[in-house]
Structure 1
Amino acid sequence: MHTNDALAHTLAWIAVDWGSSNLRAWALDHHDQVIAEASSDKGMLSLKPDEYEAELRRLVSPWLPDSGQIEVMICGMAGARQGWLEAAYLPVPTALDQLSQGAVMPRLTDTQLRVHLLPGLSQTRSATHPFDVMRGEETQLAGLVADTPFFSGLACLPGTHAKWATLEAGTVTQFTTYLTGELYQLLANQSVLKHSVGSDDLNDPACCEAFIAAVSEIHAAPETFSSRLFELRAQDLLDGRLPSGNARAAMLSARLSGLAIGLELTGACRISAANEPVTLIGNQALCQRYKMALNAVGFQARHMDGDAAVLAGLCLAHQALTA
């Protein structure tokens, strides 16, 4: 690979979000402005511990100057027990501007890179809070704090395993994980419901109406969740009012999504006042779905882009490390 001389001259440090399935890297200048970015499909699941350095080097080599040492700040699964080197979880309460205090440094064969792996957060069981862990999401939450110093409130990071965190003055005091995304996939793909559901589109009025109705119904009576799931199958077999074909499957899929997310909200929102908006962090489409669900049960929400959040969090950690 050939070095980009102009980029190498302005490069100050490198930020990396290393997930289970892929990784993203950003080259930043001395003002923490992105000057280049790259990605790879070599996430934790496809790497052995002794392969991380080579993959990182392959990805960022075009950015590197001919001499000198470059700091690399990494969050996510590279710091997991099965990753490059374990960065032990920090127990909550944890101040999000101090994540770098728990960083670990893997030994490298290449002295041009100086790598810091950020920790995740952990929560041990108490009378009111369950055992829980997060790794990667804490850096997105740090990005929220970077954007709004001393932030207090409830934040949600939708996804396969949705995280809900309570922050007080920039400190995570408690959090809860919901397997909503994974539960939806299992139900849609491996249960009897696979014969009835398809892909929904909440821009379609019929799907939107079905989604909101399901959220409201399950939020009012969460104890009916299991029976309402089977009702989807029975409705497919018996309800002549439903459209046919793909439109039918889409409406039932929207309803399944609404039931799953609505059940999540019954637990997650019980600790928040309705007049306090929930901050959603993640991709636009999924956060919009959660915003619609929150609005349906009387809560307001604001959105922060997930990529912007993780990058801001990595910048905050780098600033604390180099202060």
Structure 2
Amino acid sequence: MTISIPTQLVWVAVDWGSSNLRAWAMDAGGEALAEAEAARGMLGLAPADYEPALLAVIGDWLPVEGRIKVLVCGMAGARQGWREAPYRPVPTALDALAEGAVRPATEDPRLDVRLLPGLCQGADAGGFDVMRGEETQLAGLAALEPGVSGPVCLPGTHAKWATLEDGRVRGFHTYMTGELYRLLAERSVLAHSLGEDDLGDAACHGAFTAAVSEAVDAPEAFTQRLFGLRAMDLLDDTLPGGEARGAVLAARLSGLAIGLELAGACRDLTTGQTVRLIGGEALCRRYALALSALGHASEIIANQRAVLAGLGLAHAALEHAAIDHD
């Protein structure tokens, strides 16, 4: 998409993760004019590498003169990142994240970079926990639904469950479900039995939802049921053959892992509560199916929509603070 610079570009939104960075050129109305990405995540960068990596992605968007505000969420603000943006403790208002933003040193005079903070939780608030990046998605939800309350799940390698009250994060918990699934599927004895599941297939769909219910009903039997997957592969004649067999067993493992998460995360859900899911569509649909199997309603909010709304909320807060300061 062509950008007319500098008349349309007002600021730049950046989501900087462990493996990748994504950037969007934003106009005054909060609409994305263009986007770009690169495999230059925090895990492969030293602090001195961040500015060149950013310029390689957004340099063509910048005007010849003047400064452009660049708002960054995610791992660039981690202790091992560009510059640490200290965590803000919960409970906290999601429209106040910009108050914790920090400025890293930059050499290019066109850059005005702000790194947004993550959130942390102490033992007295529900158990030690941290998040960095997901808080901006939650802020996006608060921007899209002012005063939002209720449970929110952000599925991923480390799934986050947050409780919101009137646009504030009251507390949150992290579940290592995605990482656990990958370790079991790739590094355990189960690797000999598993394939690629497809929840559009009736057999995989049934195996997944049944496993979710089993894990929620008896979480103490989780590791027993894990080894049962290997035994099923060796002994169960009712399973399909070939690749379909591995697909069904993979769907069952996914259901057990997500079900174990939901056994803890859904304990306090009340009848009629809707769980908002923020993230990639495929994984969110999997969680929605698991929640439905347990009788819980859900609503999916696309990851990009939430990120841009959250960064937009922070941008508006910084602009307002600048006007007040003047």
Q: Which runs of 4+ in 1 moved over 4 A?
A: none
Name the SS for the 1:322 alignment partner.
Answer: helix
One-letter code aligned to 1:110: D
Q: Please, which of 12, 30, 33 is the counterpart of residue 32 of structure 1?
A: 30
8 Å Cα contact 2:159/2:175 also seen in 1 = yes
Per-residue CA distance 1:111-155 (angstroms, 9 max, x = gap)? 1110000000000112x7110000000000000001000100000
Which residue number corresponds to residue 76 of structure 2? 78
What residue number does 1:307 align with? 304
Q: How does 1:188-207 map to 2 (within 5 A)?
A: 188-207=185-204
Out of 27, 45, 48, the position equivalent to 2:46 is 48
* Superposition pairs of residues 231-246 of structure 1, within 5 angstroms: 231-246=228-243
2:6 is aligned with 1:8:
yes
CA contact under 8 A between 2:3 and 2:33: conserved in structure 1? Answer: no
CA distance in 2, matches of 1:283, 1:59: 23
Q: One-letter code of the match for 1:144? A: L
Q: Does residue 1:285 correspond to 2:282, yes or no?
A: yes
Whether the 8 Å CA contact 1:232–1:252 is kept in 2: the answer is yes
User: Which segments of 5 or more consecutive residues in structure 1 lack a partner in the other structure?
Assistant: none
CA contact (8 A) 1:152 1:166 kept: yes
Q: Is the CA contact (8 Å cut-off) linking 2:140 and 2:313 kept in structure 1?
A: yes
Q: Kindly report the root-mean-square deviation, in angstroms, between the aligned alpha carbons of the 2 structures.
A: 1.0
Match of 2:122 in 1: 124
**Cα contact 1:13–1:71 (8 A) shared by 2:** yes
Q: Distance in 1 between matches of 2:290 and 2:99?
A: 37
Residue identity opposite 2:136 in structure 1:
T
What secondary structure is seen at the aligned counterpart in 1 of 2:266?
A: helix
Map of 1:101 onto structure 2: 99
Q: Distance in 2 between matches of 1:7 and 1:41?
A: 26
Query: How far has the Cα of 1:8 moved from its partner?
Result: 3.2
Shift of 1:7: 3.6
Match of 2:54, SS state, is helix
Provide the secondary structure at the position in 2 that maps to 1:187. helix
Helix, strand or coil at the partner of 2:214: helix
Cα offset, 1:157, TM superposition:
0.2
Aligned partners of 2:3 and 2:9 also within 8 Å? no
2:267 to 270, 278, 291: 270
Asked if 1:110 is matched to 2:108, the reply is yes
TM-score by length of 1: 0.97
Distance 2:166 2:97 in 1: 15
Shift of 1:218: 1.2
Aligned residues: 319
Gaps of 5+ in 2: 321-326
Counterpart-to-counterpart distance in 1, 2:234 and 2:8: 63
d(CA) in 2 for partners of 1:100 and 1:266? 34
SS in structure 2 of the partner of residue 10 of structure 1: coil
Is contact 1:155-1:165 (8 Å) kept?
yes
- Give 1:289 deviation, angstroms: 0.3
TM normalised by structure 2 equals: 0.96
Deviations 1:1-30 (A, max 9, x none): xxx772433110000000000000000111
Equivalent position of 2:142 in the other structure: 145
Aligned mates of 2:225, 2:126 — CA distance in 1: 28
Amino acid at match of 1:276: Q
